[in-house]
Structure 1
Amino acid sequence: MRALILALCILAIVDSAHFAKAGLSSTPRETLAPAETAIATDEATQEAEEQIGLTKAKRRGVQRGLTKLGFKTKVNGKFDESTRAVIARWQEEHGYPTTGFLNAEQHKVLTDAAAEAGKSGHRDRRRAGGRARYSRGVGGPIGAIGGAVHGVVGGVVGGLFRR
């Protein structure tokens, strides 16, 4: 079996040798672009954001969504300078022009991604058993220590009375 594995490894190395001889590629790579080309052409401006009609509650939703996606911001329903900077960082990471304002398409992409991140986080918590449970019984960390101490003390004291 080891000989077979060794033979396969040698064949893989010999087969991949032609890639090393090929050298660097001279073909240009595609640059990162948004998933939809319509998003890139419709630049996000203050007017575009005003057309979305974001209420204070929807602005809070955007701020929560950014936080779920790893872009921590204050959730207060106001798009102040710090929130605009976080939106610009999100735009930059996703290949959009970094204006700090959202258009309708970007708003949809952001809220959909945040909703998906929330679902996956919820699924992970469910798989892990929900909230952290601090057991005071034998199963918990303190219960295990107490159980061990009880076993040692019980064994020593029990041994004294058995004589």
Structure 2
Amino acid sequence: MSAARTRSVETAPAAPAALDALDRRIVNALQGGFPLTPRPYADAAAALGTDEATLLARLRAMLARGVLTRFGPLYQIERAGGRFVLCACHAPAARLEAVIAAINAHPEVAHHYARTHHFNLWFVLAVAHPGAVAHTLARIAASAGVEVLAFPKEREFHVHLHLQA
């Protein structure tokens, strides 16, 4: 299963980004959902009082500036028969970039995060069938040259966190 890839690295908190009124309306409105229509960006833009090209440009700009770290759907892969697994490993500092590249080379890796901890690299595995988890993690561990710890989801919580921009 191929997943959209989002990469993130832990950094010191940045100064708050300057958002104009339209950016704030976009962030506030789109946290709660996105139209499931033939032209979702056009329909979302119309509800915000703007046009599709402007909405797309604003989203791209906020992603480029780091105001948004990700814009996309959250899937409940288990409903489709698949599985998400949170994974962690220790990547030695001298090999960090090589380990990241080896892990990211696998299409089953949805995204990763570098952290300041012994287990300094975390990633999410997305597979089409639960039975593929062990084999896929073994391939990733072998290609990256690190031990991979798996933390399968035991229970799902829906927080519905909405932050006002």
Greater share of residues in helix: 1
TM-score by length of 2: 0.20
Larger Rg computed on CA atoms: 1
Q: TM-score, normalised by structure 1?
A: 0.21
Which structure has more relative contact order (CA 8 Å, sep 6+)? It is 2
